[in-house]
């Protein structure tokens, strides 16, 4: 019996499973080996970080129940937080090889010499574990990369998923407001991070799959976080990027703040990034290729003479993800990407200006929902030039 801990109705899971099976049949595949934790969560509600070891689900093209092979610490969660009924356990031991136990499950399902898909593009399958699977199944069946089967279904969010994402977006706004409120000269970057995480968690959110990015000084130009918090100077800049998470669903927001007196170019850079994010948002239109978003991004920056100071891509898809990243990719937003925008897609757009020659940064980012008639920004915060004196 399904637990009340599951965050979607059983009927929604059954629809997702039916769609996945139809995709398998269309590809001529008899089964799919599920290693992505997001796929487990999407199809069954199974919610655990046990994927860092060896955790595999077996979805067949017919209506045989999904089987999951996992470790003992994850067994109860599979029972309580999913619609799974066939849960197998492998045990840690010297020279343990769960791939052999996976093969036994496939034998039960009469999959010998069949075409079987496998999710290769996932943090849930290390190269070492893939090697074990290949060795166990070599000559027994035909393995094919089918990483896109469930990922493609997950791109368009259901109304129930969008409710969770709206909640995450509200938490992201709360987190950014909290972070701005504690930002001042003399504060450690880590204190700003703590304010954002506290706001998220007090609001009922989860710990996000990636830490908030809080980079000041020259670090404000970086696209990734770095170890060791820096203390803000009297005249400084801080780039903040974060995902707020609710029931594993993420919504992102990004801003660069100026502390003290802005550089002469800070306002110009802000105006360019604001124009870019507006053009990018308008380009996210149903029926249009996602590449149009980055084309708009490039046009604004390049026409303003900032071609060398923009990034080569301008965002990515969002959804329910696990560590180490809130990015739910592919797709990335780059010029020429042919993936067509569809209502229900959730995208994070970021316009980032990094003047490495002067050590100056400016950025704006927000999460949008593609709708039937256009797009909707999920943040309620204004896009202002924020100066803290």
- pLDDT in the model for residue 6: 85
How many CB atoms are closer than 10 A to CB 173? 19
pLDDT tens digits for 183-215?
999 999 999 999 999 999 999 999 999 999 999
pLDDT tens digits for 356-388?
999 999 999 999 999 999 999 999 999 999 999
Q: Across the chain, what does the average pLDDT equal?
A: 96
DSSP H/E element including 182: helix 159-182
The pLDDT confidence band at residue 5, using thresholds 50, 70 and 90, is: confident
Structure tokens at 76: 């109860």
Averaged pLDDT, 271-292:
98
With H, G, I as helix, E, B as strand and everything else as coil, classify residue 91: coil
- pLDDT in the model for residue 2: 40
Residue 1 has pLDDT above 90, yes or no: no
Averaged pLDDT, 266-293:
98
Q: Of all residues in the chain, what percent are helix, strand and coil, respectively (each to 5)?
A: 35, 25, 40
What b/e string do you get for 271-293 counting C-beta neighbours within 10 Å, with b at 16 or more?
ebbbbbbebbbebbbbeebbbbb
List, in sequence order, every residue forming a beta bridge with 376; answer none if it has no partner.
369
What's the rounded Cα separation, in Å, for the pair 353 and 364?
9
The domain limits of the chain are 10-154, 159-388
Between strands 115-118 and 142-145, the pairing is parallel
pLDDT tens digits for 81-115?
999 999 999 999 999 999 999 999 999 999 999 99
pLDDT tens digits for 113-171?
999 999 999 999 999 999 999 999 999 999 999 999 999 999 999 999 999 999 999 99
CATH architecture of 159-388: Alpha-Beta Complex (3.90)
The pLDDT confidence band at residue 3, using thresholds 50, 70 and 90, is: very low
Q: What CATH topology corresponds to 10-154?
A: Creatine Amidinohydrolase; Chain A, domain 1 (3.40.350)
What's the rounded Cα separation, in Å, for the pair 148 and 217?
40
């Amino acid at each position: 019996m399904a637990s009340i801990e599951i965050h979607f109705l059983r009927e929604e899971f059954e629809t997702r499973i039916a769609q996945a099976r139809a995709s398998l049949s269309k590809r001529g595949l008899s089964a799919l080996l599920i290693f992505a934790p997001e796929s487990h969560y999407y199809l069954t509600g199974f919610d655990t970080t046990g994927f860092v070891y060896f955790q595999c689900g077996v979805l067949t093209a017919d209506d045989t129940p999904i089987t999951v092979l996992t470790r003992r610490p994850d067994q109860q969660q599979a029972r309580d937080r999913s619609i799974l009924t066939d849960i197998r356990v492998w045990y840690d031991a010297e020279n343990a090889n769960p791939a052999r136990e996976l093969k036994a499950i496939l034998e039960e399902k009469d999959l010998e010499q069949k075409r079987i898909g496998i999710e290769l593009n996932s943090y849930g399958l290390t190269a070492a574990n893939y090697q074990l699977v290949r060795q166990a199944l070599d000559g027994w069946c035909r393995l094919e990369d089918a990483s896109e089967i469930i990922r493609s279904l997950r791109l368009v969010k259901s109304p129930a998923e969008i409710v969770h994402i709206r909640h995450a977006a509200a938490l992201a706004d709360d987190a950014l407001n909290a972070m701005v409120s504690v930002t001042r000269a003399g504060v450690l970057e880590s204190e700003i991070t703590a304010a954002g995480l506290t706001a998220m968690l007090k609001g009922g959110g989860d710990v996000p799959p990636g830490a908030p990015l809080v980079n000041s000084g020259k670090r404000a130009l970086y696209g990734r976080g770095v170890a060791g918090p820096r203390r803000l100077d009297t005249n400084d800049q801080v780039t903040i990027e974060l995902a707020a998470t609710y029931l594993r669903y993420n919504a992102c927001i990004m801003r660069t703040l100026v502390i003290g007196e802005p550089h002469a170019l800070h306002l110009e850079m802000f105006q360019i990034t604001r124009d870019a994010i507006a053009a990018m948002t308008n380009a996210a239109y149903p029926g249009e290729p996602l590449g149009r978003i980055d084309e708009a991004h490039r046009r604004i920056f390049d026409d303003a003479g900032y071609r060398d100071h923009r990034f080569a891509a301008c965002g990515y898809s969002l959804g329910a993800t696990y560590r180490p990243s809130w990015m739910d990719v592919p797709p990335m937003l780059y010029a020429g990407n042919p993936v067509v925008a569809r209502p229900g897609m959730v995208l994070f757009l970021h316009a980032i200006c990094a003047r490495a020659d002067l050590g100056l940064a400016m950025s704006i980012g927000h999460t949008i929902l593609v709708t039937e008639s256009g797009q909707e920004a999920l943040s309620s915060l204004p896009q202002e030039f924020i100066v803290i004196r």
